[in-house]
Structure 1
Amino acid sequence: MSTLEEHIDIGAPLDKTWDCLHRVDSIPQYVDGVREAHLEGKRTHLGLDAGGTSRELELEITDRTTEKVMSWKTTTGPELSGSVSLLPIDQQHTRVQARFQYEPSTITDSFGGPKGLAQVHAIENGVRSDLQKFKGMVEHER
């Protein structure tokens, strides 16, 4: 299992950032390849366009609200998991720490794309880009 960890500092209070993180319908605005996202009961349904293939995934999301940690894992499709932790920097700034766990062969088998080190770089770049888009969304929301 491979693990990727990235973080970004956002110019918004912790509670606002936490609220934005939990708006399922806004996921396509900041996660590349997600064309739709919505709740189905207690699970989050994602429609993906990745590697030239259209796929559907279901996620189970759990929160540790007092610690401001949201964890997720797939319940259908490839076995993927991760977490997002929010840490206050000060009253107007929040650090977002993202952790993504995956099996490299699962990513290649399910979504295509590069293998080996090229795959690692593609995933790293994707997570960094998604965090930048999330930052932009949170900071520009009123």
Structure 2
Amino acid sequence: MSTVKESVDVAVPLHTAYNQWTQFEEFPRFMEGVDSVTRLDDRHIHWRTSIDGVAREYDTEIVDQEPEELIAWRSVDGETDRKEKVTFRRLDPGHTRVTLAVDLRPERPGEKAGEARAAVDHRVKGDLRRFKEYAEARGRGPSGPG
């Protein structure tokens, strides 16, 4: 398995960053290649993605969740073998560090781990940048932070 880990500092309180991230149905707004995400129950999520022209559907299971600290999930079916963990750290009352770690195996036979890692690294950086913009815009919305 190869691991990609990136962080971004978001100008919203910890509870706001955590709440925004745990609304899985909103992932298509900031995650590249994610077409839809449907929560099946408290622990299971169905994903539809289109990456590099390849459409996929798969399910994940939430394996660890500590409110306002972390959420982790892993794939349970499909071609993708990956685990993801997001941690949240309060920097001050209005800023939070969000760290995303993705562990994955190459998805296609013959795909090199380095190629898969580079592609995922690029997506993770972009997803975190877009999450920052998304969370900060929502945090400054009509109801204010929070």
C-alpha deviation, 1:132, in angstroms:
0.5
Matched, 1:140 2:137: yes
Gap runs ≥5 in structure 1:
none
Query: 2:20 is paired with a residue of what secondary structure?
Result: helix
Matched, 1:28 2:28: yes
Matched, 1:80 2:77: no
- Please provide the CA RMSD for this pair: 1.7
CA distance in 2, matches of 1:15, 1:41: 22
Matched, 1:89 2:109: no
Which deviations, in whole Å up to 9, do the C-alpha atoms of 1:40-65 show, x marking residues without a partner?
Answer: 12311111112212111111113122
Match of 2:102 among 83, 100, 110: 100
With structure 2 as the length reference, what TM-score do the two structures score? 0.86
C-alpha deviation, 1:116, in angstroms:
4.8
Which deviations, in whole Å up to 9, do the C-alpha atoms of 1:83-125 show, x marking residues without a partner?
Answer: 0000000000000111100113xx234xx9x745343222111
Range 79-88 or range 41-50, more displaced: 41-50
2:60 match: 59
Q: 1:82 to 1:25 in 2, by over 3 A?
A: same
With structure 1 as the length reference, what TM-score do the two structures score? 0.88
Q: In structure 1, what residue type is equivalent to 2:10? A: I
1:38 match: 38
Matched, 1:15 2:15: yes
1:126 match: 123
CA distance in 2, matches of 1:134, 1:108: 28
Query: 1:25 is paired with a residue of what secondary structure?
Result: helix
2:144 match: none
Gap runs ≥5 in structure 2:
142-146
Equivalent residues, number: 136
Alpha-carbon contact 2:38-2:47 (below 8 Å) kept: yes
